[in-house]
Amino acid sequence: MPYTHSGVLASALAMDKQRSKMVFQQAGLPIAPSGLFARDAVMAAHVMAPPYVVKPNNEGSSVGIYLVHEAANGPPQLSPDMPDEVLVEAFAPGRELSVSVLGDRALEVTDILTEGWYDYDAKYKPGGSRHVIPADLPRDIRALCLEYALRAHQALGCRGLSRTDIRWDETKGPEGLILLETNNQPGMTPTSLAPEQAAHCGLSFGALCAALVEDASCGR
């Protein structure tokens, strides 16, 4: 049966954060240093210099994320439901940006503003975050965000709609852009970013759904 969004390989790569980062690196895209470590090793000692982030390698929606601050007294004590192997990634400071790609077009850059960090509640609860679209960015930074998202989409082999999350450290200019991950099947809820960006580009929610359905095919 025909289906929408990305195929099996692209979906598997996008869901595996470490493998997708390897694909990004090979494509010349900027990423934060990271590695896969045993959960017990992460709880026994710092496996990299703080600040860093610990998260499941194949989860989404900011589930199971631990931020280890620079002044942390010791390694994080992870909950028992964390997987046996976790991803540890150097913390990328800066603004939380996101770019959706539809087909072969990067739509727009959204600046995500929250009280704390962009966790599950900030993503899904009404009022949990504020989305500024288009993001107030220098022209060259906006252009790079759009370019990086499209290149990430293509490097993974994504089809249809995807969304790439980016951090930008303003003090470093273009060198401060870091790709976090690409979601190959982004949310379509009332608080989701991709439908907002599509609407900003003149594509209503219905038209976006129609475009996805019309793009459906077999053997993607």
pLDDT at 114 (0 to 100): 78
pLDDT at 117 over 60: no
pLDDT of residue 167: 97
In contact, 43 and 75? CB cutoff 8 Å? yes
State percent of the chain over pLDDT 90: 81
Asked if the model's pLDDT at residue 169 lies above 80, the reply is: yes
Q: How far apart are CA 37 and CA 82, in angstroms?
A: 12
pLDDT of 108: 98
| Tens-place pLDDT, residues 48-90 | 999 999 999 987 655 678 999 998 889 999 999 899 999 999 9
Average pLDDT, the chain: 91
Percent of the chain with pLDDT over 70: 92
Is the pLDDT at 220 greater than 90? The verdict is no
Q: Residue 118 and residue 173: Cα distance in Å, rounded? A: 22
Element (H, E) at 55: strand 52-56
Range scoring the smallest mean pLDDT among 20-29, 58-67, 121-130, 181-190: 121-130
Average pLDDT for 158-163: 96
d(CA 121, CA 147): 29
As to burial, measured by CB atoms within 10 angstroms (0-12 exposed, 13-18 middle, 19+ buried), residue 219 is: exposed
Residues 180-187, mean pLDDT to the nearest whole number = 94
Is residue 200 within 8 Å of 208, Cβ to Cβ?
no
Q: Of the ranges 23-27, 123-127, 179-183, 187-191, which one carries the lowest mean pLDDT score? A: 123-127
Residue-wise pLDDT for 2-31, tens only, equals 999 999 999 999 999 999 999 999 999 999
